[in-house]
Structure 1
Amino acid sequence: MAITLMFPAIHLINSSSALSSYGSFTKSKFKSKIIHLSLHNPRNGGSSEFLTHCSIRPNTESDSSLENRNATPGHNSNSDVQEPDQPSSNRNVKFSESSFSTGLVFDLGVKESWDGSEIGSPVVKRYLGDEEERWYMWYHGSPTREPNSDSIGLAVSRNGIHWERGGGPVRSSVDTGVVMKCSKDWWAFDTESIRPCEVVIMSSEKVKANNAVYWLYYIGYNSEMVDNNNPMGFDLQNPERSRLGVSSNKVYKSLPGLAMSQDGRHWARIEGEHHSGALFDVGSNGEWDSMFIASPQVIFHASGDLRMYYHTFDAANGSFAVGMARSRDGIKWVKLGRILGRGGGGFDELGAMNARVVRNRKSGEYLMAYEGVDGKGKRSIGLAMSADGLKNWERIERRMILKASECGWDSIGVGSPCLVQMEDEWRLYYRGIGMGGETGIGMAVSDGGGGDIFKATFTRWTGFHRQE
């Protein structure tokens, strides 16, 4: 099924060849390979330095909770969106049974792959097919040979725990792997790095199609440096890099972008009003968001009412802060200002960043999982609530819901939260950083509270094996 985009300026994803056929554009074939999902890390010589002196018991839980169903977030969540077919028979999934890494559900790719140096920014969605559920995870990865060069990739799963990944660009609507690379247009805002922030299923009068389409909100970076007026005692980076010594204390300008797809794999960039193709610009000198715009996460509130939550570093206050913008069509945005800044102390003393907002299906209130930064720059995950999603955001009494482990693969910090509401529990997907700056994507599950997130505690998943 082809769709025609009605905007005057549309740019297909730049890669080794064009990605998709939209309107009069022609689809090109890609060479790609699928690699086994293996949590073996060849850079560590097959060992797991993070498990030293850790005692982690095997998982004793069943998978019965995985049968819970929830509707897809966003407008027209029941629309006929093209879902992936059954995984191909050549996509064998391997798991080790020799050791455990609590919480880890998705590790670095193999050494020479596009995501072998760093992974993060998980955007996890649960979709329902005719006979089964299907999980998608968009995430960013960077290769070992070019650790500063990000791509956006897609992994799929049947239960949100065991994921299939690809080692190269996708070729069809059932492939996994790289789905979007940096722009090659010299004037664009996303020439140096890109990271996914949110995927919403939307219908639009701007798109001629029989079905709804995926809208990807992402962040793009270019080579323009911004002044780093950071009085704090930690390196301020944008984009952030977990590897020690990579892009240390450098701040590049980043702006929000939008792309559309009918299968979640082949994306067409939509040009925004900014001259670089971004949706909007940073604030003027002296404004709180004048350095950069990062992590634009969008939710559909009602017809003609979309809300975007993003963060920046407020140089005047020396802290990270979350703000929001509002739109009628998801393309033209009006900023509303800052909504969450530094805490009174503790884990978010230096502010909040990488906010992810969801609407509680049971109570209707808005929940914000965010990455808190303490006085030394260490990251944990906290939770705030608002009745209408616009103002009066309040941190819950037990503000920190997940912190770095005592030892393990995520002992340095946790962040980039992504909440998924199940029927009787919540899942929290997150990026973890371990010794040496190695990253992975983990999952914690709410325990107790009967689905009430304010009464529950989050416990790292213990049922995934890591290969020695």
Structure 2
Amino acid sequence: MDAASLAAASATTMKAVNFFATPITQRIATHPTTLTSPIPHTKPNTPTQLTTRKNRIRPVEPNLNSEPTNPSTPFSNDALSSPISTSFSSSNTKGLVLGLGFENSWDSAEVGSPVVKRFLGDVEERWYMWYYGKSSSNPNPGSDSIGLAVSSNGVHWERGVGQVQSSQDVGAVINCGKDWWAFDTQSIRPSEVVVMSSSKVRASSAVYWLYYTGYSAEEAENIYNHSQEINLENPERFLLDKNGGIGKIFKSLPGLAISQDGRHWARIEGEHHSGALFDVGLQGEWDSSFIAAPHVVFHESGDLRMYYHSFDLEMGNYSIGMARSRDGIKWVKLGKIIGGGRSGYFDELGAMNPCVVRNRKDGEYLMAYEGVGGDGGRSIGLAVSPDGLKDWTRLKDDEVVLKASEDCGWDTKGVGSPCLVQMDGEEDEWRLYYRGVGIEGRTGIGMAVSQGSDVTRFRRCAGFHL
């Protein structure tokens, strides 16, 4: 049985496949591009060899372009305390937990799109953060990477300056695709990591499914023909011209990679000819321009939900839609669930970069999203749904959960790419990780904390940035 046969023909006829029960083992077969499938089987302990292009597994190759400018002085990839090499003063770094990396390191020019996971053990906790980075030594398309930082408390992070070398290393872990036909040759951004293990076990024993956004060289339809002209803020802009004007928007699609240590990844080729999981919508559909930020939530066995954003050409705003899957590979689109806000509101031009979490206290679904204002400004808002499928309601129409800081803060130009983490304990605290943009487009990753169980109010805390 091949991987495609595991998928449901319709979201309404899903069967309960125990998505997390089947052990996943990655093994290189005789053919260098053929691996034993890590995809769950309907028959336990029955390996499936994937020898066709569809759903084939491709090992991730090192990025040969990510080396420092001066090759005679190689970087050591020993873990470094975070954040490092920033020009911010201590007075304007409130909430900042990860700044830019050392000069010429893999993340020295830009960081963003944080995906944070927490693991609890008997005597300690461990935090993983996957995030996007770009090096100042190679600003060309195709040089972006996804990297990993680790922490013992989710506040102070250890990071690397180059490509990971071992299962204990930190640094860049996955790079842009090298195949000419692939959908992710120009840029990649992490969207979600589905961890196939209990949160009560060590991180090293988990299996990770990384859903990410991949950009190709194909230019998407110009969204500015359908809305007022706004300048795309760093890093949403892609190949922004040097004069700070509006850049080209390149087509993006959702991708999947799998790992046993969170560091060494193998891409899973979807049904689309480019290797993506699925294509944009047909002409006239709301998601016909691009697919971005595929955030996946495991609801129950055989029921995974993907939330993603696109630009609705007819309505002239960013919108969030969803899809559903039995196996995490083949998806059925369910349509748009959130569009633009009311005139004059912080999300007037739409919602993007969704992060959906099922509240362990009451079972409701919370969605943190990046709102785009009429002037292009970025803030973070919140919506709620009883079942995660429909009836999404903004908690407060014109009240943001987190907005750009005032004065000369490191994130004074905008905040977005939210990642919600629900903490255990009686206080029911939430953490909100996010990408912040400062003066001259300088980026960083920040953290804000809820006021107890009140998810409508988050505050940046001082003293994070060491």
What is aligned with 1:402?
A: 402
Aligned CA distance change for structure 1 residues 249 and 242 (closer, same or farther; 3 Å): closer
Scaled by the length of structure 2, what TM-score is found?
A: 0.80
What is the total number of aligned residue pairs between the two structures?
Answer: 392
User: Residue 131 of structure 1 aligns to a residue in which SS?
Assistant: coil
CA-based RMSD of the aligned residues comes to 2.4
User: Matches of 1:275 and 1:237 in 2, distance apart?
Assistant: 31
Cα distance change of structure 1 residues 244 and 229 upon mapping to structure 2, 3 Å threshold: closer
Matched, 1:127 2:127: no
Instruction: Name 1:315's counterpart in structure 2.
Output: 313
Specify whether residues 265 and 387 from structure 1 end up closer, same or farther in structure 2 by C-alpha distance, changes over 3 A only: same
Q: Are residues 1:138 and 2:136 paired?
A: no
What is the rounded CA distance, in whole Å, between the counterparts of 1:390 and 1:363 in structure 2?
16
Identity of aligned residues (%): 63
2:168 is equivalent to residue 174 of structure 1:
yes
Q: Which residue of 1 aligns with 2:365?
A: 366
Counterpart of 2:300?
302
SS in 1 for 2:81: coil
- How far the C-alpha of 1:463 sits from its partner, in A, is 1.9
> Equivalents in 2 of 1:248, 1:111: separation in Å?
27
- Indicate how the Cα distance of structure 1 residues 40 and 304 shifts in structure 2: closer, same or farther if over 3 A, else same: closer
C-alpha contact (below 8 Å) 1:326/1:335 kept by paired residues:
yes
Do residues 152 (structure 1) and 199 (structure 2) align?
no
Which of 6, 12, 21 is residue 59 of structure 2 equivalent to? 12
Alignment of 1:155-304 (within 5 A): 155-202=149-196, 213-230=207-224, 231-236=227-232, 240-241=236-237, 245=241, 248-304=246-302
Give the secondary structure class of the aligned counterpart of 1:171.
coil
Alpha-carbon distance between aligned partners in 2 of 1:462 and 1:414, rounded to the nearest angstrom: 17
Distance in 2 between the 1:155 and 1:223 partners? 29
Q: Does 1:421 pair with 2:422?
A: yes
- Could you say which structure has the greater relative contact order, defined with CA pairs below 8 angstroms and 6 or more residues apart? 1
Structure 1 residue ranges without an equivalent (≥5): 18-29, 52-97, 204-209
- Higher mean C-alpha displacement, 380-389 vs 225-234: 225-234
Partner Cα separation in structure 2 for residue 105 and residue 350 of structure 1: 29
Structure 2 CA distance, aligned partners of 1:162 and 1:242? 30
Of residues 91, 96, 101, the one that matches 1:104 is 96
The letter for the 1-side match of 2:81 is L
Instruction: Determine the structure 1 residue equivalent to 2:388.
Output: 389
What letter corresponds to residue 33 of structure 1 in structure 2? N
CA contact (8 A) 2:63 2:175 kept: no
2-side partners of 1:458 and 1:239: how far apart? Answer: 23
Partner SS state of residue 436, structure 1: helix
Is contact 2:237-2:249 (8 Å) kept? no
1: CA distance, partners of 2:442 / 2:420: 23
Deviation at 1:465, TM superposition (A): 3.3
Task: Tell me how far apart the structure 2 counterparts of residues 199 and 14 of structure 1 sit (CA, whole Å).
Answer: 20
Which aligned pairs between 1:14-163 and structure 2 lie closer than 5 A? 14-16=61-63, 33-34=77-78, 36-37=80-81, 39=83, 41=85, 46=87, 48=88, 99=91, 101-147=93-139, 148=141, 149-163=143-157
2:455 — aligned with what? 453
CA deviation digits over 1:182-211, x for unaligned, max 9?
1111110011111100001237xxxxxx97
Q: Tell me if structure 2 keeps the 8 A contact 1:118–1:142.
A: yes
CA distance 1:280–1:244, change in 2 (3 Å): closer
Secondary structure, counterpart of 1:397 in structure 2: coil
Partner of 1:68: none
- Please state how far the C-alpha of 1:249 moved relative to its aligned partner: 2.4
- The separation in 1 between residues aligned to 2:214 and 2:239, in whole angstroms, is 20
- Deviation digits for residues 212-266 of structure 1 (CA, Å, limit 9, x no counterpart): 5210001101100122042322135897249974584211010000010111111
Q: Which runs of 5+ in 2 are unaligned?
A: 1-23, 27-35, 38-47, 65-73, 198-203
Structure 1 match to 2:7: none
**CA shift at 1:285, angstroms?**
1.1
Q: Are 2:342 and 1:340 aligned?
A: no
In 2, the alpha carbon distance for the partners of 1:402 and 1:305 equals 31
Aligned partners of 1:15, 1:266: CA distance in 2, in Å? 10
For 1:451, the aligned partner's letter is S
Asked if structure 1 preserves the Cα contact closer than 8 Å seen for 2:234 and 2:441, the reply is no
Distance in 1 (alpha carbons) for counterparts of 2:223 and 2:250: 13
Residues 89-134 of structure 1: per-residue CA shift (max 9 Å, x gap): xxxxxxxxx6551110100001211101000000000012342100
Task: Give the secondary structure class of the aligned counterpart of 1:381.
Answer: strand
Q: What's the CA shift for 1:462?
A: 1.1
Residue 207 of structure 1: aligned partner: none
Note if contact 1:125-1:137 (Cα within 8 Å) is conserved in structure 2: yes
Contact preservation (8 Å) 1:14, 1:182 = no
1:349: which partner in 2? 348
For residues 162 and 184 of structure 2, what CA distance do their matches in structure 1 show? 20
Residues in 1 aligned to 2:193 and 2:172: alpha-carbon distance in whole angstroms: 16
The answer to which of 248-257 and 229-238 deviates more is 229-238
Contact in 2 for aligned 1:126/1:134 (Cα 8 Å): yes
Cα distance in 1, alignment partners of residues 366 and 435 from structure 2: 19
Task: State which drifts further: 175-184 or 227-236.
Answer: 227-236
The 1:125–1:438 alpha-carbon spacing in structure 2 relative to 1, beyond 3 Å, is same
